[in-house]
Amino acid sequence: MTTENILEQIAINVIQGRVEAEDEGFDEGFENQPAVTELVTEALAKGLKPGDILIKGLTASMEEVGKKFETGEYLIPDMLAAAEAVGAGMDILTPHLLKAGVESKGKFIIATVAGDLHDIGKNIVAIMLKGAGYEVIDLGVDVATDKIINAVKKEKAPFLGMSALLTTTMRNMEEVVIQLKEEGLRDKVKIAIGGAPTSQEFSDKIGADTHCIDAFAVLDWLKAA
């Protein structure tokens, strides 16, 4: 298999949501064929640059996934499967990227706010950010305001993403913004919010920087930030 063919196969298998060889994929004929885990390992063994594997194999493929999601061909479980494939590839690649001196685009803290246990959207965003070259500090779900504030202080991260799926927990996003202002940190971090009940209107109301409807919107915002 040529080096370009390996990169192409990595991209195809991300789109198919295949992490390992035993995974079936969305289309027929993929079962027991090398998937993202095996292909990324093979690419590294053949001496491909980690940065090329990241950009040409993993990141580029998610753009295609995004198009399929926007047209309705892919639903959230399909996008999540593709994102998990990227995450598996990133787990293998990360040490090699660091060794090769590939610079991070910056730290991005992400969390589902206090009282909320939903994490699918947050997890997709985290994987996409890693694939785009950001250092992601994922605080998890049901994260207290003080923990988010302390993470911003400790990590000196320029970006913060908050998620909520319940209308009753949305107000906790505002609490974070208020406390960041009180701590004199608000001007040091750009804030994106997301989740089904949130909106750009709500983002403006609480003083966040943007509202993102999905992971692709987050990446678009970062390109312009």
According to DSSP, residue 185 is labeled -
151-189, pLDDT tens digit by residue? 999 999 999 999 999 999 999 999 999 999 999 999 999
* Nearest Cα residue to 220 out of 96, 40, 5, 63: 63
According to DSSP, residue 19 is labeled -
- Report the run of H or E that residue 197 belongs to, with start and end: none
Please state the domain extents for the chain.
3-99, 107-224
- Report the run of H or E that residue 191 belongs to, with start and end: strand 190-194
Q: Please indicate whether the domains covering 3-99 and 107-224 agree at the CATH topology level.
A: no
What pLDDT score does 151 carry?
A: 97
Q: How far apart are CA 84 and CA 67, in angstroms?
A: 17
Which of 3.40.640.10, 3.40.50.170, 3.40.50.280, 3.40.50.180 would CATH assign to domain 107-224? 3.40.50.280
Q: How far apart are CA 88 and CA 81, in angstroms?
A: 11
* Nearest Cα residue to 220 out of 194, 181, 187: 194
What pLDDT score does 25 carry?
A: 92
Superfamily covering domain 3-99: Methionine synthase domain (1.10.1240.10)
DSSP secondary structure, 88-110, as one string: HHHHHHHHHHHHTTPPPS-EEEE
What pLDDT score does 186 carry?
A: 96
Residue 213 to residues 78, 162, 165, 183: CA-CA distances in angstroms? 17, 12, 12, 28
Q: How far apart are CA 13 and CA 35, in angstroms?
A: 6
What is the phi/psi pair of residue 191, to 5°? -115, 130
* Nearest Cα residue to 191 out of 175, 118, 130, 119: 175
In the predicted model, residues of the chain with pLDDT beneath 50 are none
